[in-house]
Every structure is written in structure tokens, then in C-alpha cells.
Structure 1
């Protein structure tokens, strides 16, 4: 991994490990989306066959499974999005700020995202504990709601790690730029 400025990011083994975990989770998120597509197609085809008089029908609880899988997929994609700088940024003044200015704003943005990811993880964990305590289940399939929270929690935890790695990378780039200006 290297920063967009062309520097070694300095994250070492931890950075590579988080990158590998984020990539694996992104593939799992892609699997969730493929599952949603197949499930939706099968359910729609079943509805069509039912109206034509065949003995098939929609998949029971399809919307429950789509709801859970789409929520989980979002959390599974977040770590890789953070590591690959895939979040939306506004670079309106980037040309006027120079490399140091961009590096400082990147650091600030990564620090803010780290704070947000920590809050998301904290509240998701609280939600998981609540759903486990109450034993809430989905209406049709009686899927324990905490399953979706638990799977999402994995993505949220790796998202926080990815945010910490991006803060480290930004600090590393800022230090390198600071050393270059002193030399």
C-alpha cells in the first residue's frame, strides 16, 4: 500500500493484514449482493409462475433476507472503501493547498472518520447486545435479528482498524513532507 502522494505508507505488517482482511470482507459483501440478486430473481420468477397457474410462489421471507444481507454487505464494504480512499471527498481547494495542505486535510478527514467508525462500532455493539437480550426475531422466518448485527459488527470492527491504519498513513505522509521542507 502506498499513499497517493507516492510515499511508503509506513503501516507495515499491520497495514497489510488489515488490507487483506478488508479485501476478504469485500468479497463476502459481494457474495451478499449476489445472494440478494439470485433470491430476488427466484422470488419474482416464483410469483410469475404462481400467476400462470404453476405450483410455485415467491420465496417466503425474501424481503427479510434481503434486508439483512444488504445491511451486512454495507458494513463488509466499508473497510476496503476506507483503505482505498473510496469515500467521497471534495477537492475544490486541493490544487491551491499544495501537498502539505492536502496531507493535513487528509489527516483531519481520516481522524474524523476514525471517530465516526468508533461510534458506529460502539452503537452497533450496544444494538447487538440489546437484540440478543430481547431475543427479537424476524416476522416470517423467525431469524434472530442479532445475527445481522453480529455479521455487521465484524465489518465495523475491521472498518475501525482500517481507519486507524489510514490515520497512521496520513501521519507518516505528514512527517515525511515536514522533513522534506526542513531539508
Structure 2
């Protein structure tokens, strides 16, 4: 007889998989960027044959690298953090600082998600493309919105975990 799945564990599983998928896509974009830069440099300096529009492709793949890896980095607390005042402000100060930093970050990213979503819709409606190669821009705005939206969820989960004493001390 099968037990009904725990809602929290199902949510956690979905959340972890979404993070993993976005991070894997970010890795694909990073690999693409590395290969393109290597080929571009080789062709430009060894054969004097530059690739047309390579800068556009590298800029767009950089969007994929950063925005798709952002939620995973946030979930693993991999961002640069300076704990200069930790000893001075004490345990309560760190608790308030951790909550405040996550709340402010989630608020700012929420605003940016909304703006990126609207920009994606505009770019899709008007057919915005890159100047040289004509690559559609709306999927990259979608990457920005998706990465930041999942990052907001990560920050909200961390906020709740800190309140209940399961987060960073």
C-alpha cells in the first residue's frame, strides 16, 4: 500500500530539480562560451579569420551563465559574504541581519523579475533581435526572469528556515 507523499518533500524535490536544471543549463552556456572564445581567438590570431557576431553570442551566453546559476548559488550560500561585524553585533544582530538581507534581496529581485517579464513580453511582441546576427532576445529575458524568480523562492525558503532556527547560526 502506497503512502501519500509528504507535501513538503514533494515541494523540496521539485525545487531541487528546478535548481539543478537551471544550473545545468548555466553550465551548458558556460561551456559554450569557453568553446566559442577559444575558437574565436584561435581563428582571429592563427588564421586571421574572425567570427562575425561572436561578441553578441558571448554576451548572450553570459546572461545564461549568470542568471541560470544564480538560484543554485543562492541555495548553496555561495555568494561572497563579508562577516566583519559579526563579533560586534552578536547573535541577535546576525539573526536580524540575515533576515533583513534576505528580505531586501527578495524584494529587489521580485521587482526585477516583474520588469524582466514585461521586457520579455515586449521583446517577443516586437520581435527584438540582436544587431548583427538577428538572434531573438526574448528567450534571454526569460532566462533572467526565471533565474531571479527561483532565486526569490530560495531567499524566501532561507528566510523561513532562519526564523525557525534551521538556517545559518
Partner of 1:34: 31
Partner of 1:25: 22
Task: Please show how residues 64-83 of structure 1 align to structure 2 within 5 Å.
Answer: 64-83=56-75
| TM-score normalised over the length of structure 1 | 0.77
Alignment of 1:103 onto 2:102: no
Q: Give me the whole-angstrom Cα distance separating, in 1, the residues matched to 2:141 and 2:110.
A: 16
Q: Give me the whole-angstrom Cα distance separating, in 2, the residues matched to 1:37 and 1:124.
A: 26
Deviations 1:46-78 (A, max 9, x none): 223433xxxxx2222211111111012111121
Provide the aligned C-alpha RMSD in A.
Answer: 2.2
Contact 1:25 1:155 in 2 (8 A): yes
Structure 1 residue 126, shift from structure 2 partner: 1.4
| TM-score normalised over the length of structure 2 | 0.82
Alpha carbons of structure 1 residues 95 and 12: separation in structure 2 relative to 1, 3 Å? farther
Contact 2:113 2:144 in 1 (8 A): no
| Gapped regions of structure 1 (runs ≥ 5) | 1-10, 52-56, 178-183
Task: Please show how residues 1-183 of structure 1 align to structure 2 within 5 Å.
Answer: 13-51=10-48, 57-173=49-165
The total of aligned residue pairs comes to 160
Q: Give the stretch that moved more between structures: 104-113 or 154-163.
A: 154-163
Q: Give me the whole-angstrom Cα distance separating, in 2, the residues matched to 1:97 and 1:48.
A: 55
Contact 2:114 2:145 in 1 (8 A): no
Larger radius of gyration: 1
